[in-house]
Structure 1
Amino acid sequence: MKIELFDQFQTQASMNGLIYYFSGNLDSPMVAALADTLKERLQEEGLANATRRKLFSTFVEMAQNILHYGAPSGETTTGKPGAIGMGREGDQFWVVCGNLVLSEHIARLTEKLNAVRSMSLDEIKAQYRKQLANEEHSTQDTISKGAGLGLLTIARDSTEPIEFTFAADPASSGRYAYFYIKAVV
C-alpha cells in the first residue's frame, strides 16, 4: 500500500468514527485475542455496563459468523478472511462485519435477515426463546450451526434494524460474494 493511500484510509476511518478495526484471517485464537483487546478498549471508553455488554456480544457474534459461515480464502492459511470494525457516531456505536460467502447462500441469508429486520423487539425475544427450545434445528437447517441465535442476539442488542448488503467478488467468477452486516447499539 502506498503511504498516501494509508493516510487516506486513516483520514476516512477517523472521519467515520472508527475506533476498532481488524482485517485478515480469523480463527478462534485470533477472535479471543481481539475480544480481550475490545473488552479493555470498551472499559477505557467509560461506557455503561449494558452498552459494553451489547457491543461486546455483537462483536463476538459477528466474528463467530465469519468463523462458522465465511468462505475459505483458498490459501493454505488458517482461519477465514474477514473484516470487523466498531465506531462511534454521536451517542451511538456501530459494529460492521464483512466476509466472503458462497453466492448460492445469498437468497437464504437475505430471507433470514429480512425476517429478523421485520420483527419487533418482543418478537425477536420470543423467537430467540423458541429457537433455544428447538431441538430439531439441525434437521431443518443443515447450514446454520446456531439455530439463528447469533442474528437474533445481534438484532436484540441493536437500537435500529440490522443493515446488510452483498457485493460480487469479481475474483471468484461469481462463486463468492462479500457479505456485510451492520448493527447500531
Structure 2
Amino acid sequence: MSRHSDEISESANVGKGLFMIGKKKEQYFIISSNKVKNKNADRLQDAIELINKSSLEELNQMYSSQLSSGKISPKGGAGLGLLDIARKTSKALQYNFIPINTYYSYFVLKVVIDKRKIV
C-alpha cells in the first residue's frame, strides 16, 4: 500500500492512506486507498489490467521473472505487491481512481478473498 502512494505537501490536508478489512457472507474484503499523482495513474491501471487478464500460471511466471531480475523501484519495492495479492485470490483486483485535484487522485483497490481459500 505504501509503495503506491505519492507524496503530497503537508498543506494539502490529505491523509497518507486508508486500509479496511471486512467480511460479507463467505468472503473477506480488503480495501486500501492511497494518493497517487495523476501522471502515474495510467501506469498503475495498465499493471492491474495486465494482472487481471493473466492466468495463475502467468502470474506465477511474472512473479518469478520480477523476483529474479532483482530490480528495485525508486520507491524501494520489487514490483511484487500487486502480483502477490493477485496470486492469493481468484478474483479480479477491483480498482478506481477518484480525482482530488488536477495533480492527484485517490487510488482505491479492493480485493475479495473467499473464506475457503484461507489456509
TM-score relative to the length of structure 1: 0.55
1:64-85 Cα shifts (integer Å, max 9, x gaps): x22x231234228xxx611110
Q: Tell me how far apart the structure 1 counterparts of residues 89 and 75 of structure 2 sit (CA, whole Å).
A: 21
Q: Tell me how far apart the structure 2 counterparts of residues 147 and 176 of structure 1 sit (CA, whole Å).
A: 24
1:104-145 Cα shifts (integer Å, max 9, x gaps): 00111111111111111111112111111013x34xxx5463
Q: Tell me how far apart the structure 1 counterparts of residues 8 and 74 of structure 2 sit (CA, whole Å).
A: 19
Q: Any gaps of 5 or more consecutive residues in structure 1?
A: 1-64
Corresponding residue to 1:161 among 89, 92, 99: 92
Corresponding position of 1:150: 81
Q: Any gaps of 5 or more consecutive residues in structure 2?
A: 114-119
Corresponding position of 2:116: none
1:159 Cα offset (Å) = 2.4
Q: Which has the higher helix share?
A: 1
Corresponding position of 1:4: none
Corresponding position of 2:30: 95
Corresponding position of 1:119: 54
The code of the aligned residue for 2:64 comes to R
Corresponding position of 1:181: 109
Q: Tell me how far apart the structure 2 counterparts of residues 154 and 69 of structure 1 sit (CA, whole Å).
A: 14
Corresponding position of 1:84: 19
**Aligned with 2:17: secondary structure?**
strand
Q: Which has the higher contact order (CA 8 A, sep 6+)?
A: 2
Q: Tell me how far apart the structure 1 counterparts of residues 34 and 7 of structure 2 sit (CA, whole Å).
A: 10
Larger-gyration structure (1/2)? 1
| Cα RMSD for the two superposed structures | 1.8
1:169 Cα offset (Å) = 0.3
How many residues in Structure 1 have an aligned counterpart in Structure 2?
A: 110
Q: Which has the higher strand share?
A: 2
The code of the aligned residue for 1:154 comes to I
Corresponding position of 1:72: 7
Query: Once the two structures are aligned, what percentage of the paired residues are identical?
Result: 27
